[in-house]
Amino acid sequence: METLKALPVEREDPFQPPALLKELPGSLHPMTYADGRLGWLVTGYAEARAVLDDPRFSNTQQGAAPPIKELAPPEGLTDLVIPPGFFIAMDDPEHSRYRKLLTGHFSMRKMRKLEPRIQEVIDGQLDEMARGGAPADLVKTFALPIPSLVICELLGVPYDERSRFQDTTARAVNLDNTVEQRGAAAGELMGYLSELVGRKRAEPGQDLLSELATGGELDHEELTGVATLLLTAGHETTANMLGLGTFLLLCHPEQADLVRTDPGVAESAVEELMRYLSVTHIGPIRVARADVPLAGQTIKAGQTVTICLPVVNRDPSRFPAPDHFDVTRQATQQLGFSHGIHQCLGQQLARLEMRLAYPALLRRFPTLRLAVPAEEVPLRPRAAIYGVAALPVTW
Ligand code: HEM
């Protein structure tokens, strides 16, 4: 079997996985990682679930090889330090201690309670977009601010501090900024979250941070780490789904019409957009702790395994006619939120945001369309989360 040379991430078409990956036969492929080490790439649906379900694969990222050079750790850094509370990079039982404390706060029931506030956030952004007039960059006016403001609601960021919070978050994730600028903004944000945790402990309100701060289970540093994880895990992912998802819908007006006019379609549309776009296009990444046989081969202890979600979510044995985009498809088994113990904690929140945001946008601006030819929309193929850098629209 031919060995892949690092993970190809440039998509010939923004909505399709790289052609080289789609053409690979089988479900598990040897791959030379960006640092020269040999590891694996999983492209089969059943194999992806098997890896994500298997405790012999670690998620601490210790010793993980980078699938692309941009993900290599800074030179000289060999051992990663996982900040307290950053449980996405912990294995069980450490991981489950945090997860148990948080799961109840992200249930469907809890999220439904947030629904009116999320709708207000969305309507507020649409009002602002209308006030600013056409053309507009949908990323700046819609895709980025909505998840940021929703996280403010969840964490209990006071109203008069939201613009500062949003501005710092935007600086931390904006790829036009240098690594130093982004690092400085991320540091500012963590400082702010630490201070906010302190305030919530002293004067609790009706929000997640206050509940956790007064619950007595997490110390100050742990809670700051949890807040930072919630922000980083929930912001760019949702923003890229809103940006790239709107781009896809604008390129398929008949599908956009269904989302606009049929309230029953929003739910399946979200799953299909998640399946079709797979914005988490590099990973999940795991490191084998033991030799593990898979798909007729052996993954050796210490080797890195990358799950290729864009191809896994197009596995024809799970999704018939996988390249057909159909907002009425029941794609609930899609793996865009991962699977197993690390499957996305915020998935019900993300689903709710998207279920409300796409139809609201399309209804508010029924003539919404791209303001530039589709080929000119700038993409972010080498970022950890795939998406559009800007989405010029008019109406
Ligand atoms: C469309 C938006 C989103 C996408 C595509 C997404 C995707 C993912 C994926 C793929 C993972 C698993 C990584 C792995 O298996 O290693 C994950 C984990 C996680 N996500 Fe999301 N996510 C989204 C939104 C959110 C939101 C809104 C929040 C919270 C506010 C959130 C919080 C988390 C957390 C805390 C984890 C770690 C869970 C754990 O390790 O137990 N995510 N997400």
Residue 11: what residue type? R
Interval between CA 237 and ligand 1 midpoint (Å): 8
What token pair was written down for 229?
Answer: 């994880």
pLDDT value of residue 15: 97
DSSP type of residue 342: G
Interval between CA 86 and ligand 1 midpoint (Å): 12
Q: Is the peptide bond before 392 cis (omega within 30 degrees of 0)?
A: no
Interval between CA 132 and ligand 1 midpoint (Å): 32
* Spatial CB neighbours of 327, under 8 Å, sequence gap ≥ 6: 255, 258, 259, 265, 268, 269, 272, 273
**Per-residue 3-state assignment (H helix, E strand, C coil) for 182-249:** HHHHHHHHHHHHHHHHHHHHHCCCCCHHHHHHHHCCCCHHHHHHHHHHHHHHHHHHHHHHHHHHHHHH
Q: How many structural domains does the chain have? A: 1
pLDDT per residue of the chain (395 residues) written in tens, 0 to 9:
789 998 999 999 999 999 999 889 899 999 999 999 999 999 999 999 999 999 999 999 889 999 998 888 777 666 677 889 999 999 999 999 999 999 999 999 999 999 999 999 999 999 999 999 999 999 999 999 999 999 989 999 888 888 888 788 878 777 677 778 878 888 888 899 999 999 999 999 999 999 999 988 999 999 999 998 998 888 889 999 999 999 999 999 999 999 999 999 999 999 999 999 999 999 899 999 999 999 999 999 999 999 999 999 999 999 999 999 999 999 999 999 999 999 999 999 999 999 999 999 999 999 999 999 999 999 998 888 899 999 999 99
Q: Which of 280, 274, 254 is nearest to 331 (CA)?
A: 274
How far from 378 is each of 135, 238, 372, CA to CA, in Å?
Answer: 16, 18, 10
Beta strands in the chain (DSSP E): 4-5, 28-32, 38-42, 57-58, 136-137, 285-288, 292-294, 297-299, 304-307, 369-370, 392-394
Pocket flag, ligand 1, residue 244 (CB < 6 Å): no
Domain containing residue 153: 4-385
Q: Which mutation among 94, 226, 344, 349 tests ligand 1's pocket best, with the greatest number of atoms within 8 A of CB?
A: 344
Atom of ligand 1 nearest to the CA of 279: 5
Interval between CA 289 and ligand 1 midpoint (Å): 23
Is residue 118 one of the residues assigned to a domain? yes
Is residue 69 one of the residues assigned to a domain? yes
CA within 13 Å, CB half, 29: 27
Residue 372 to residue 386: CA distance in whole angstroms: 20
Burial class (CB in 10 A: 0-12, 13-18, 19+), 297: middle
* Other CB atoms within 10 Å distance of the CB of residue 285: 19
CATH number at residue 332: 1.10.630.10
Is residue 230 one of the residues assigned to a domain? yes
Instruction: Return the axis-axis angle of helices 179-202 and 220-251, rounded to nearest 10°.
Output: 120
Residue found by looking up tokens 């040379």 in the block = 5
Pocket flag, ligand 1, residue 235 (CB < 6 Å): no
Q: Are 265 and 327 in contact (CB under 8 A)?
A: yes
CA within 13 Å, CB half, 59: 25
Pocket flag, ligand 1, residue 248 (CB < 6 Å): no
Is residue 392 one of the residues assigned to a domain? no
Pocket flag, ligand 1, residue 230 (CB < 6 Å): yes
Residue found by looking up tokens 């469907």 in the block = 108
Q: Which mutation among 209, 222, 237 tests ligand 1's pocket best, with the greatest number of atoms within 8 A of CB?
A: 237
Residue 191 to residue 219: CA distance in whole angstroms: 16
Is residue 391 one of the residues assigned to a domain? no
Is residue 311 one of the residues assigned to a domain? yes
Pocket flag, ligand 1, residue 346 (CB < 6 Å): yes
Pocket flag, ligand 1, residue 243 (CB < 6 Å): no
> What is the separation, in whole angstroms, between the first and last Cα of the chain?
51
Is residue 26 one of the residues assigned to a domain? yes
pLDDT value of residue 393: 98
Interval between CA 131 and ligand 1 midpoint (Å): 33
Residue nearest to ligand 1 atom 38, measured at CA:
342
Is residue 275 one of the residues assigned to a domain? yes
Residue 395 to residue 393: CA distance in whole angstroms: 7
